[in-house]
A and B are shown apart, each in its own frame.
Chain A
Amino acid sequence: MTDDTLQLGNKTFTSRLLTGTGKFADNALISGMLEASGSQIITVALRRIDQQSKTDNILDSIPQNVTLLPNTSGARTAEQAVRIARIARAASGTNFIKIEVITDARYLMPDNQETLAATEILAKEGFIVLPYILPDLPLAKRLESAGAAAVMPLGAPIGTNRGLETKPLIAMLIENCRVPVIVDAGLGLPSHAAAAMEMGADAVLVNTAIATAGDPVTMGKAFELAVRAGRKAYLSGGGQCSDQAVASSPLTGFLN
């Protein structure tokens, strides 16, 4: 048995907890959160500068050894996502891109069709593409064929902290995808993350639940422990309660 690692593109990670930089009360908390959570991949977004209020550089809060995962948030079409991805790569020096195309402003559901189109283009350009999707098995297989490095199905709508509402759909992805399945969005508690890992997810991405906790650093640690616990439970082949009674008429009597 080799070390239990997560492979994304040409990079290998020992942590299965991806984090995000959104919604922190103070960006200074990010480095402490990263240290406590052990997270090796963190998302950032690209925005037009705000000419009025000068903000500090988010990249200064992220240590060199953590892999940047720029997202394409703000994109409403595949074309826009591709454009943002190219800029992000040139500006950050990383090939990693989380494709996030959202055309629904109310629930912030990812647009699977545009996401597939963007993945097809960016994978050909050498990006390590991580598409954020609604868990849809045929789509996930198309993304896989298109060269996605992983698929990132949502557990629940972004920022809702409602947990694994899409569990049975994610289970199909886990069962049938060859690329890693990273549950992204909606995980509000460490127990949600543990449940995702127990069912065989390869990793989880948590942002809001950590960033908006009373103590993001401690919550980062809590998620790290939950992800590791869930992963170990999965690897150990966890049991299930049996409510099965043995039927009365034997089926194998003919063999005796």
Chain B
Amino acid sequence: MSFFEVLTQYQDFSFDDYFATVTDADIARIVTLDKLRPADFLALLSPVAANHLELIAQRAHQLTVQYFGKTIQLFTPLYISNHCSNNCIYCGFNHTNEIKRRTLTLAEIEEEAAALSRTGMQHVLLLTGESLQATPIDYLVDTVRCLKKYFASVAIEIFPMEEEEYRLLYREGVDGLTLFQETYDQETYRKVHLAGRKKDFRFRLDGPERGARAGFRTVNIGALLGLAESRRDFFFTGLHAAYLEQQFLDTEVAVSLPRFNEAECDYNPPFSVNDKLFVQYLMAFRLFLPRAGITVSTRESSAMRDNLTRLGATRFSAGVCTTVGGYSKADSSDTPQFEITDERSVAEVATAIRQQGYQPVYKDWDDIR
């Protein structure tokens, strides 16, 4: 069993035809349901639902408070390498991009970790490009061992791995996996991933399942909204999350809704997701899977993130730097993976969360393995 089978079921499904049947009454009915089916979720992603955002927002708010309380969990990404053998035409780390490449040494990682932990952060997300030469598994294992000295929780956002490799990292103390499919549209996927191991759509698609089987406590998925028609891509993101929740009862599933920001290469996304649409997607997901996490990165502005606190977000990155080695030594000439828009410090983000009447959570759990 794989999510691929679910995806295949929608091969000939006409989204436009379905959207044409959605009525105002459907939306009014769906927001009262205890449990949404995929068709209900899709209705909430329809153009018609955009006329009922306030109604949906009230329900999204109520469900989020019910299941998560008034809390936002904080984490910080830590970039340790921007070496990459992939050619993803939208990404700043794209191997054809002539940027300064570096991979941190263990001593540098230790320095970064120490600098980061001084901000109070206890959850760290480790990021690399995709390069087996620059960041082989032994190097990753050593990195995790180092980070575990400074942080309660270490998650990874790296290239997809085999289940055994995930298991190895799990044994070293990694407890979370973030892996974005980028797009669920296979045609688009082929067109934007020109080289490298990332060309393998199916291997990436099954990555979250392999991670869940390997034992990771949290699995965070997402589509890079704007690469392909976004209602579809987000619908499949939701179905993928539902599939993972159903298959792996012991895994906490979360989604992200990354959308385009300026990156180092000149890529114009063919589809744009404006604020209204973005909020509609986020809230629709909350109604569809009330217990799933929603991660919002600093790609979103501080004003947007402040508002999302009440609409369904459960995890924020904070105090973020997307360049390699950026925490201990600021060097403005380095190329980031993507441009961030919320540039506030950890303390500033935490204060903003408190001002909303929410509690910023620096440490959600400790691994006692």
Report A's interface with B, CB cutoff 8 A.
137-138, 141, 171, 175-178, 237, 239-242, 244, 246-247, 250-252, 254-255
Contacts and interface: CB of A to CB of B under 8 A. Distances in A.
Nearest to B29: A239
B279 A241 contact: no
Contacts of B29: 239-240
Contact of A251 (B54, B275, B276): B54
A176 B246 contact: yes
A251 B32 contact: no
B310 A251 contact: yes
Contacts of A175: 35, 246
A241 B61 contact: no
Contacts of B247: 178
Given A240-B34, A251-B311, A254-B303, A178 B54 contact: no
Contacts of B37: 237
Given A178-B246, A250-B54, A252-B57, 6 more contacts: A138-B249, A244-B31, A246-B55, A251-B307, A252-B311, A254-B303
Nearest to A174: B35
Interface residues of B, number: 30
Given A240-B34, A241-B32, A141 B61 contact: no
22 contacts: A138-B249, A141-B249, A176-B249, A178-B247, A237-B37, A237-B40, A240-B29, A240-B32, A240-B33, A240-B34, A242-B32, A250-B57, A251-B54, A251-B57, A251-B307, A252-B53, A252-B54, A252-B57, A252-B311, A255-B275, A255-B276, A255-B279
B368 interface: no
Contacts of A171: 35
B301 to A, nearest CB: 11
Interface in B256-314: 275-276, 279, 303, 307, 310-311
B1 interface: yes
Contacts of B311: 251-252
B296 to A, nearest CB: 15
A47 to B, nearest CB: 38
Given A176-B246, A240-B33, A255-B53, A246 B58 contact: yes
A175 B249 CA distance: 12
Nearest to A239: B29
Contacts of B307: 251, 254
| Pairs A-B, 5 closest by C-beta atoms | A251-B57, A242-B32, A252-B53, A252-B57, A254-B307
A246 B60 CA distance: 12
Which of A171, A237, A241 lies at the interface centre, i.e. has the most chain B CB atoms within 10 A of its CB? A237
A12 to B, nearest CB: 18
Interface in B160-204: none
Interface of B: 1, 28-29, 31-35, 37, 39-40, 53-55, 57-61, 245-247, 249, 275-276, 279, 303, 307, 310-311
A251 B54 CA distance: 6
Contacts of B61: 247, 251
Contacts of A239: 29, 32
Nearest to B274: A255
A98 B41 CA distance: 36
Contacts of A242: 28, 31-32
B39 A237 contact: yes
Nearest to B306: A254
A176 B242 CA distance: 9
A141 B246 CA distance: 9
B67 to A, nearest CB: 15
A178 B40 CA distance: 19
Nearest to A246: B58
A252 B303 CA distance: 13
Contacts of B54: 246, 250-252
B291 to A, nearest CB: 11
B59 A244 contact: yes
Given A138-B249, A176-B249, A178-B246, A251 B58 contact: yes
Nearest to B57: A251
A37 to B, nearest CB: 29
B342 to A, nearest CB: 15
A154 to B, nearest CB: 21
Contacts of B60: 251
Contacts of B40: 237
Contacts of B275: 255
A242 B246 CA distance: 28
A175 B245 CA distance: 10
Nearest to B55: A246
Nearest to A254: B307
Contacts of B249: 137-138, 141, 176
Contacts of B53: 252, 255
A223 to B, nearest CB: 25
A246 B57 CA distance: 10
Which of A175, A239, A251 lies at the interface centre, i.e. has the most chain B CB atoms within 10 A of its CB? A251
A252 to B, nearest CB: 5
A221 B59 CA distance: 42
A244 B62 CA distance: 11
